[in-house]
Amino acid sequence: MPASRVARVPAEERLFSLVLALLSTESGLTKAEILANVQGYRQRWTQGGDNASLERQFERDKDDVRDLGIPLETIETPGAAGNNQTLRYRIPKGEYDLPLDVRFTPDESALLTLAAMAWREGALSADSRRALLKVRSAGAEDDAASGVLGMDAYAPRLRARDAAFEPLRSALDRAAAVRFDYITPGQHEARRRELAPLALVQHGGRWMLAAHEFATDSDKNYLLSRIVGPVTQYEVGRHPAPAGAAERTLAELDRIWATRTARIHVVPGSDAERRLSRRRDTATEPDGTLALHHVDPQILAEELAAFGPEVRVLEPDDLRDRVTARLRALVADHEGDVRG
């Protein structure tokens, strides 16, 4: 079937299927096995054909999985060191299990199981569930992830799409302009935006809208998680998105990501070290300092501030000031609660 006629698989369903596949194998899967069998890739896979764009999609998906805090490992094949085609990928189940001291009562387990089943049935197609069985038949060895408990244990950890996703996708399909209230990173008050949507993309584990803002006559990116209230469509049919907008947006985000770095110190053995060291393109210096790439310094500041004393920003100064300001605001908020 021509690529243009292949049914589109939502990105979060593709990521979910990828996580299912990598959790269900001890020995790991090669890139070719993943692309040929996993839901979201196999529909576009051409045996012996040009799969370059699909391979780039897989590289971005690997980064997104790691950005979600999931420990994706690569294993080199003995005698083929440095050969990317023979690398095997897996998610070590032991590192992705719940802590040993976390236990649930039978009633709590039943409620969690029901919630996870509802999430899975509402978000995944039957085709996606069949995909796991197909991957297992290709050589996966661990059957622990095949049962209901195995799937439910980690299914809720993947983020669902933001509430604004569907109305924005509808606006793109209908070539409509949109209005919504948006909180700019670093600010607390929402401001009304009127835009012509260009593309919905996922970068660094976050959904973003690329759009043309009428007020400034410029193209900007908006985090879906910062859209508050309803998304309203207007001028239907008058704002078609240009071809290739998503690819250009991702390329620009990747360019910014590559050029912006920050150096931070993390407490050895801390949650901050474990999570931040696995971020895409993170480099660890000999003294343990981490060099992080990022797109928006305010978004990175919010992420780093959440780790509290486990993180200390070394440079740039602007990022350190942003983290400090956020921590001071947090302290001030709590002091107000105590006084009240």
Question: What are the tens digits of pLDDT across the range 33-50?
Answer: 888 888 888 888 888 788
Residue 171 lies in a domain: yes
Kindly state whether residues 200 and 97 are assigned to the same domain. no
As a whole number, the mean pLDDT across the chain is 77
- Rounded to an integer, what distance in angstroms lies between the CA atom of residue 165 and that of residue 171? 10
Tokens of 331: 């302290």
Whichever domain contains 244, its CATH number is 2.30.30
What percent of the chain has a predicted confidence (pLDDT) above 70? 71
Q: Who's near 287: CB < 8 A, 6+ residues apart?
A: none
CB atoms closer than 10 angstroms to residue 190: 15
Same domain, yes or no: 224 and 277: no
Q: Is residue 73 part of a domain?
A: yes
Task: Enter the DSSP assignment of 69.
Answer: T
- Please list the alpha-helical segments (H only) found in 38-164: 52-67, 106-123, 126-137, 148-154
Rounded to two decimals, what is the model's pTM?
A: 0.54
- State phi, psi for 261 to the nearest 5 degrees: -130, 160
214 against 339, higher pLDDT: 214
Q: Classify residue 71 by burial, with Cβ atoms within 10 Å: 0-12, 13-18, 19+.
A: middle
| Contacts with 19 (C-beta within 8 Å, 6 or more apart), sequence order | 65, 70, 91, 154, 158
Domain count, the chain: 3
Which two structure tokens, joined as six digits, stand for 261?
């770095």
Output the six-digit token pair for 318.
């602007």
Question: What mean pLDDT do residues 330-334 have?
Answer: 73
Kindly indicate the confidence band of residue 183, based on its pLDDT and cuts at 50, 70 and 90: confident
Does residue 132 have a pLDDT over 80?
no
Same domain, 129 and 190: no
Residues 334 and 269 in one domain: yes
Residue 253 lies in a domain: no
Q: In sequence order, what are the residues at sequence separation of 6 or more whose Cβ sits closer than 8 angstroms to the Cβ of residue 42?
A: 35, 36, 131
In a domain, 255, yes or no: no
Same domain, 149 and 170: no
**Residue 47 has which token pair?**
């045996």
In a domain? residue 279: yes
Give me the pLDDT at residue 100, please.
57
- The confidence score (pLDDT) of residue 192 equals 94
CA–CA gap between residue 135 and residue 34 (Å, rounded): 8
Is the Cβ–Cβ distance between 315 and 292 less than 8 Å? no
Which position has the higher pLDDT, 252 or 99? 252
Choose the final residue of a domain: 131, 157, 183.
157
Q: Which of 82-86, 225-229, 304-308 has the lowest average pLDDT?
A: 82-86
Residue 89 phi, psi dihedral angles, 5° rounding: -115, 140
The continuous run of DSSP H or E covering 315 comes out as strand 311-315
Out of 248, 268, 292, pick the residue that ends a domain: 248
Tell me how far apart the alpha carbons of residues 88 and 190 are, in angstroms, rounded to a whole number: 45
Domain endpoint, select from 224, 248, 272: 248
User: DSSP secondary-structure letter at 162?
Assistant: P
Q: Are residues 121 and 206 in the same domain?
A: no
Tokens 């895409």 belong to: 280
Q: What was the pLDDT predicted at 105?
A: 64
Same structural domain, 144 and 20: yes
210 found inside a domain: yes
Who wins on pLDDT, 120 or 189? Answer: 189
Same domain, 138 and 275: no
Minimum mean pLDDT among 96-110, 156-170, 269-283: which range?
A: 96-110
Choose the weakest-confidence range: 10-14, 163-167, 244-248.
10-14
Which pLDDT value is given to residue 266? 93
What is the per-residue pLDDT for 139? 42
Residue 254 domain-assigned?
no
Classified as helix, coil or strand, 257 is helix
User: Do 186 and 196 touch, CB atoms closer than 8 A?
Assistant: no
Are residues 136 and 17 located together in one domain of the fold? yes
Higher pLDDT among residues 279 and 213, named by residue: 213
State residue 259's pLDDT score: 93
Could you count the other beta carbons within 10 Å of the beta carbon of residue 326?
17
The pLDDT, as a whole number, for residue 336 is 55
**Full domain range(s) for residue 188:** 165-248
Query: Residue 159: is its pLDDT beyond 50?
Result: no
For residue 191, what pLDDT is reported?
A: 92
Amino acid in the structure at residue 287: D
Most confident of 50-59, 88-97, 199-208: 50-59
pLDDT of residue 112: 56
Please tell me whether residues 32 and 121 are part of one structural domain: yes
Q: What is the mean pLDDT of residues 211-233?
A: 92
Q: Taking 90 as the threshold, does the pLDDT of residue 340 lie above it?
A: no
pLDDT at 101: 59
How high is the pLDDT of residue 182? 93
Examine the pLDDT at 309 and tell me if it is beyond 50: yes
pLDDT surpassing 60 at residue 136: no
Beta bridge partners of 155: none
Instruction: Please tell me whether residues 294 and 175 are part of one structural domain.
Output: no
In this prediction, residue 106 carries a pLDDT of: 60
| Tokens, residue 42 | 């196999």
The answer to whether the Cα torsion of 42, 46, 47, 50 is positive or negative is negative
Assign 178 a pLDDT band (cuts: 50, 70, 90).
very high
Query: Which pLDDT score is estimated for 1?
Result: 47
Question: Do 151 and 12 belong together in one domain?
Answer: yes
Residue 153 belongs to some domain of the structure:
yes
